[in-house]
């Protein structure tokens, strides 16, 4: 398990991404890890500066703020964050792979409400242990870097994500989102690209 020293407190990579207390992750640590991820992707995945990186989040109260910090970090790395709003993790991952772009999902998944996390995806799927080590190393090099404002392309406005991401006549229930957004999200991105 990789432990990151970027920021205060304890954040750890485990089987499901970088995890820790929401109050620790929110702020500079989210910015630093997204910046580090962006730099690792630029160095190793064959993407160019300005490439879109999909950014999604779950319904936890801390997720919108953490996502904003991630967007700023991605922009600082020279990438173009695309705010996909609230959606299921598999929908974001599948669409990022379909488009061949990286992604970050802000999600606590199965952990307690006072915690949150970041799941990182390369253009070809979820990161591996080597990527984790490289992100931790890159994050250690930029600790102390202050977040900057990011220009984030908004595809789904906060609070209306489900309404904007579903085609006419399609009902998506946020309480049971698995599978629903997977079917409608690709159409939304085709209109946006």
* Active site positions, annotated: 109
Q: Are 13 and 2 in contact (CB under 8 A)?
A: yes
* CA dihedral sign of residues 173, 175, 181, 183: negative
Q: Are 120 and 37 in contact (CB under 8 A)?
A: yes
Q: Report CA 60 to chain centroid distance, whole Å.
A: 14
Strand 11-14 versus strand 3-4 pairing type: antiparallel
| Residue 133: other Cβ atoms inside 10 A | 13
Q: Which of 106, 79, 92, 63 is nearest to 189 (CA)?
A: 92
Q: How does DSSP assign 124-165, residue by residue?
A: TEE--HHHHHHHHHHHHHSTTPPP-----EESS-TT-HHHHT
């Amino acid at each position: 398990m990789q432990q990151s020293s970027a920021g205060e407190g304890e954040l750890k990579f485990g089987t499901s991404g970088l995890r820790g207390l929401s109050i620790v992750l929110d702020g500079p640590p989210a910015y630093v890890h997204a910046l580090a991820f962006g730099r690792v992707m630029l160095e190793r995945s064959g993407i160019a500066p300005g490439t879109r990186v999909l950014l999604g989040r779950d319904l936890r109260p801390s997720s919108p703020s953490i996502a904003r910090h991630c967007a700023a970090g991605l922009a600082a790395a020279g990438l173009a964050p695309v705010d996909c709003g609230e959606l299921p993790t598999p929908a974001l991952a599948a669409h990022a792979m379909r488009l061949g772009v990286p992604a970050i999902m802000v999600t606590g998944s199965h952990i307690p409400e006072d915690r949150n996390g970041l799941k990182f995806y390369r253009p070809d799927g979820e990161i591996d242990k080597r990527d984790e080590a490289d992100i931790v190393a890159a994050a250690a090099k930029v600790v102390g870097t202050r977040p900057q404002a990011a220009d984030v392309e908004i595809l789904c406005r906060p609070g209306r994500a489900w309404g904007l991401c579903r085609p006419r006549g399609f009902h998506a229930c946020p309480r049971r989102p698995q599978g629903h957004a997977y079917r409608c999200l690709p159409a939304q991105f085709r209109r946006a690209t």
